Amino acid sequence: MAEIILKPIGIIRSPNTDPSKTPIQPIYAEGIKGYAEIYPEFEEGLKDIEGFSHIFLIFYFHKTSQEKLKVIPYLESVERGVFATRSPSHPNKIGISLVELLKIEGSVLHLNRVDILDGTHLLDIKPYISRFDKVENSRNGWQDKIDEEKAKTLGSRKK
């Protein structure tokens, strides 16, 4: 199998330094601000991004060493296939977060709802486009059985 080498385009900065206290998803990270520093050679690629309210950040889980094909997801007690979860234990350790883009200053993207650890390598940015990304009548698998109040309380990981 061919090896794929990815080059980070920047670094994510956030107040999240302890994985056990970091929100599990952006929806539970309201008010947690951070920013993405885009490396100078990629700054030109930020042209026109200021028109989007939300962006997907694609990043590398640099603090996890686990690779498992079955995991017990956060908020669950049942073992699931890793590809049916957003666990950092995926074979390629790639993460994705939909964050709010507050403003841009040069090569710095100011963000809200940051559920990413400080110092995380940013691999790519994609704009959220409701015309393409919003899916009506979707199925959410085993997640439909999760109690939302419990998820909101535990998911924010405020301690």
Query: How wide is the angle at C-alpha 23 spanned by C-alphas 19 and 81, nearest 5°?
Result: 80
DSSP assignment of 135-148: -TT---GGGGGS-H
Beta bridge partners of 11: 37, 121
- With a cut of 90, say whether residue 158 has pLDDT above it: no
Lowest pLDDT segment from 13-22, 38-47, 143-152? 143-152
Count Cβ neighbours within 10 Å for each residue of 76-95 and write b for 16 or more, e otherwise: eeeeeebeebebbbbeebeb
Tokens read off for 93: 């350790």
CA dihedral 2, 94, 82, 75 (to 10 degrees): 170
**pLDDT over threshold 80, residue 57:** yes
Instruction: Report the DSSP beta bridge partners of residue 126.
Output: 56
What is the pLDDT, as a whole number, of residue 23? Answer: 82
Closest to 123 measured CA to CA, from 75, 36, 67, 60: 60
Please spell the DSSP secondary structure of 77-90, one letter per residue: -S-EEGGGS--TTS
10-62+92-129+141-153: CATH, from 1.50.10.10, 2.40.30.70, 3.30.300.210, 2.40.37.10: 2.40.30.70
pTM of the shown model:
0.85
What mean pLDDT is reported for the chain?
88
Q: How far apart are CA 34 and CA 99, in angstroms?
A: 10
pLDDT exceeds cutoff 90 at 126: yes
Q: How confident is the model at residue 72 (pLDDT cuts 50, 70, 90)?
A: confident
Convert the pLDDT of each residue in 90-100 to its tens digit.
Answer: 888 899 999 99
Place of tokens 């979860």: 85
Three-state DSSP at 137 gives: coil
Residue with tokens 């979707």: 138
State the pLDDT at residue 157: 63
